[in-house]
Homo-oligomer: A and B are copies of this chain.
């Protein structure tokens, strides 16, 4: 298995750019380059490390591609501390392409259903008073927004977000954001009607009630129904555009 005894720690055969990349990655990780700070000018890096600009650019490119810094075309790259969010952002492009083919969207949506069902069950079992309060809050906001398309959209997402947050696992809100980001484009084409808002609000209520009653099975049923409705609507749109 092991190949040699070259002990430059990781892999010695790496290019200079990789080495620089690692240095910056470490600096970002350690906070020496705080979140939001701009990277030094390329030429400065060049002389500080005694390497060519080519290498510097490639390293920065890599940082950018991996989401460790945000680099708008002509601007100084800005540090973005890595998080699960940025990690998911990084693969956004690729995922988007993947979704375009075959059952892509359906598969991702199914994953979402799976996760949300699990969250609902978990909530029904474990949610504490505070969680439930927050959920209720969101539900009420949702209700007051039934006639305001934009706000309903927002509060709808928020209700779900709280479900993800209730898990207490910081990975899950990131997953939620990813679902939103990746599935949204398929949603927006959908004409929103107040009647649909009303329906969705009722679905949310059903989920909330099931959680309140500490009934995982009911929470699952309500969640499935809610998402199945949503899928129906999406699906109808997708069919039309084919």
A residues contacting B by CB (< 8 A) are: 13-15, 25, 29, 54, 57-58, 61-62, 65-68, 73-74, 82-84, 86-88, 90-91, 93-95, 97-98, 107-108, 110-111, 114-115, 117-119, 122, 167, 169-172
Residue of B nearest to A57 (CB): B58
Contacts of A66 in B (CB 8 A): 65, 90-91, 93-94
Q: Which residue of B lies closest to A86 (CB)?
A: B94
Once the chains are docked, how many angstroms separate the CA of A57 from the CA of B169?
Answer: 40
**Bound Cα distance A118, B118 (Å):** 6
- B94 in contact with A91 (CB, 8 Å): no
Q: Which residues of B contact A90 (CB under 8 A)?
A: 66, 90-91, 94
Question: With A and B bound together, what is the CA distance between A95 and B110 in angstroms?
Answer: 24
| Chain B residues closer than 8 Å to A110, beta-carbon distance | 167, 169
* CB-CB under 8 A for A172 and B91, given A58-B61, A97-B29: no
Decide: A170 and B107 in contact? CB cutoff 8 A.
Answer: yes
CB of A186 to closest CB in B, whole Å: 16
Report the Cα distance A206→B93, complex, angstroms: 41
Complex-state Cα separation, A167 to B90, whole angstroms: 26
Residues of chain B with a CB closer than 8 A to A87's CB: 91, 94-95, 98
How far is A86 from B25 in the complex, measured between Cα atoms in Å?
A: 22
* Given A88-B91, A118-B118, 13 new contacts (CB under 8 A): A25-B97, A54-B57, A58-B61, A61-B62, A66-B90, A82-B94, A82-B98, A87-B94, A90-B90, A110-B169, A111-B169, A114-B118, A115-B118
Pairwise interchain contact A84-B98, C-beta atoms closer than 8 A: yes
A-B pairs, top 4 by smallest CB distance, nearest first, are A65-B65, A87-B91, A118-B118, A87-B94
Q: Please pick, from B62, B170, B172, the residue contacting A65 in the complex, using a CB distance under 8 A.
A: B62
Tell me, in angstroms, the Cα distance from A29 to B167 when the chains sit together: 37
- Which chain B residues lie closer than 8 Å to A13 at the CB level? 73-74
- Give the residues in chain B near A169, CB-CB below 8 Å: 107, 110-111
